[in-house]
Amino acid sequence: DVKVTQSSRYLVKRTGEKVFLECVQDMDHENMFWYRQDPGLGLRLIYFSYDVKMKEKGDIPEGYSVSREKKERFSLILESASTNQTSMYLCASSSRQFQAFFGQGTRLTVV
Amino acid sequence: AQTVTQSQPEMSVQEAETVTLSCTYDTSESDYYLFWYKQPPSRQMILVIRQEAYKQQNATENRFSVNFQKAAKSFSLKISDSQLGDAAMYFCAYRRRTGNQFYFGTGTSLTVIP
């Protein structure tokens, strides 16, 4: 079974903190994604990566950055967390074909 | 740009009955994939069913089936013999065959009434 693991299920951070969300996949997938999920808005793509050290902006990259130093790991970084970044964050991976596989999600609260 | 529209934010169904969730999409491509994902409350998003656009036959997975109308750009999900465990958020998604990105709808929250 494909496994996509996110480092935390729940996270509470203070405004202005630098926040790291980690995601690891074990299927040698080329593509990895970070989505933000908010009620009524569905899944919005923040960034994706199609290879090591390669990244592309999604629909809502402002306030976020990413890092992919190894194929299996894709990190989302909130440089200075703000309350409007309180949300559910979903990591996913996929091969060049077919479906995406998702992690369990990280519910981030910024206070 | 590709867009995926789910026009039913909420749906409900009686246990053992059948329900159909709607999805439409916009694309100029001819070769692509369509997906339905299920996200139970506080649980991981999982794939329910996948359709490849070049296949005319509608995909089926046990109680789940799709009605794929390529010309109409419609991709609805039918759940037969609904069970309590089917209660979840359902997302429709699109991916170009040669692309990396997935495009998701805003989701339909399905309630199953005992």
CB contact set of B59 (below 8 Å; sequence gap of 6+): B49, B50, B51, B65, B66, B68
- Each residue's pLDDT tens digit, B36-52: 999 998 789 999 999 99
Q: Which residue of B has its CA nearest to A3?
A: B44
* Other beta carbons less than 10 A from residue A111's beta carbon: 10
**Residue whose C-alpha is closest to residue A87's, from A63, A67, A66:** A63
| Contact at CB, B97 and A97, closer than 8 angstroms | yes
Q: Give A76-99 as a DSSP string.
A: EEESS--GGG-EEEEEEEE-SSS-
- Each residue's pLDDT tens digit, B73-103: 999 999 999 999 999 999 999 998 887 889 9
CA atoms within 13 A on the CB side of B78: 12
Say which DSSP state A28 is in: -
| Contact at CB, A43 and B43, closer than 8 angstroms | no
CA dist B7 and B17 (Å) reads 21
B45 → closest Cβ in A41, A50, A90: A90
Provide φ and ψ at B39, rounded to 5°: -125, 95
Identity at A24, one-letter amino acid code:
V
Distances from the Cα of B9 to the Cαs of A21, A44, A47, A107, in angstroms? 29, 17, 26, 22
Per-position pLDDT tens, chain A of length 111:
769 999 999 999 999 999 999 999 999 999 999 999 998 888 999 999 999 999 999 999 999 999 999 999 999 999 999 999 999 999 999 987 788 999 999 999 999
pLDDT of amino acid B1: 60
pLDDT of amino acid A54: 92
Distance in Å, alpha carbon of B105 to nearest chain A alpha carbon: 6
Check residue A9 and give left, alpha or beta (phi > 0: left; psi -120 to 50: alpha): alpha
B1 touches chain A (CB under 8 A): no
